[in-house]
Amino acid sequence: MTKKTSYHSTNGNFTGKTVTESSGGHTKSTSYKATGSGLSRTIMGPGWKATSTTTTDPKGNTRTTKY
């Protein structure tokens, strides 16, 4: 299994992240929105709230679930 995390920021503050896991041709990608304010959005690290999950099977079929 391979896991990759990409962080997104604006003006030095975290705005979100995407976590992608892949195994055996299946891929699951979950997007998160950063929560909190001030220092929690910078050096202390924000909280995270899942906003959507997209799964892709080996045939290329995708399914997206939004929260």
Model confidence at 32, pLDDT cuts 50, 70, 90, reads very high
Check residue 42 and give its pLDDT: 66
Contact 39, 28 (CB under 8 A): no
Record the pTM: 0.86
* CA distance readout (Å), 64 to 4, 45, 49: 19, 27, 16
Average predicted confidence (pLDDT) for the chain: 91
pLDDT score for 18: 98
**Mean of pLDDT values over 28-48:** 82
